[in-house]
A = this chain, B = another copy of it.
């Protein structure tokens, strides 16, 4: 009832875990059974190792959190050596999230991953990290650069190619259309919303980098609007995310036009939430006589 397809790849459930919110899958041992997920999207990997931003990197806000991790990661070579073997064995599908600064950055990382093999089913391309100059945001705000990058990567893989979009633009549809024109199999929406926190007692900013990315329930309305707008103009599938915490939230994103969804910030508090959501979605299908959860996709009254 929960099986969904993206291109030729079938996922057991439409619930993926969002990049940067589930580590590399090994940290949750004992806390979650990853086989219930449709798949895991790994923390953004870059061409070279990155130490990330200095502390503090996170702060709580009303119904949300700010983060500015700064794409800390061990680099694509380290990733292939240290993380891939474990991920290859996991009983769920793996999508590798790739970030970069320049076109050649993305392409080199991508080629190393493709050459290395591994049984990941696809890539999610982060062109929307608001927290580092090198986060690809230059791409994420430009339809031309998005299309160009998508095309270059498309040439280089037969695996799923998913472009991850930013809400921090005047018109997200233009970026989505560019990804589609470039040959992406799907888009993910949304990455975090730019925000800032201030500690009055210390008269200091809450994040070392001043600005960070807002995630969690606070941004769900923003994410739903982005997904819905995209669904009106795109013919490729949309992977919805932003503030999903419950099965009801997942249904909202599917009603708004998502094929799959990702759970992010909620994993920190409830590392097993993705799983319990799946159980609830099955119950929902039964109650409503749906043969597949996507039967309600986009089925919004007005």
Binding site for B on A (CB under 8 A): 61-64, 66, 141, 168-170, 193-198, 200, 202-205, 208, 210-211, 214, 216-222, 224-225, 228-229, 243, 248, 251-252, 255-256, 296, 299-302
**Closest residue of B by beta carbon distance from A219:** B218
Contact in complex: B301, A204 (CB < 8 Å): yes
Q: Chain B residues near A205 (CB, 8 Å)?
A: 300-302
- A167 CB to closest chain B CB, in angstroms? 9
For this complex, 15 residue pairs linking A to B, each with C-beta atoms less than 8 Å apart, are A63-B63, A63-B217, A63-B218, A168-B170, A170-B170, A195-B224, A196-B228, A198-B224, A200-B248, A203-B296, A203-B300, A205-B302, A210-B302, A218-B218, A218-B219
Q: Chain B residues near A200 (CB, 8 Å)?
A: 248, 251-252, 255
CA distance A205 to B296 in the complex (A): 14
Q: Chain B residues near A210 (CB, 8 Å)?
A: 228, 302
Specify the main secondary structure of chain A where it touches its partner. mixed
**Closest residue of B by beta carbon distance from A197:** B221
- A139 CB to closest chain B CB, in angstroms? 13
- A135 CB to closest chain B CB, in angstroms? 15
CA distance A251 to B218 in the complex (A): 22
- A263 CB to closest chain B CB, in angstroms? 15
CA distance A61 to B224 in the complex (A): 12
Contact in complex: A64, B218 (CB < 8 Å): yes
- A136 CB to closest chain B CB, in angstroms? 15
**Closest residue of B by beta carbon distance from A221:** B195
Q: Chain B residues near A221 (CB, 8 Å)?
A: 61, 64, 66, 193, 195-197, 214, 218
CA distance A228 to B212 in the complex (A): 13
**Closest residue of B by beta carbon distance from A216:** B62
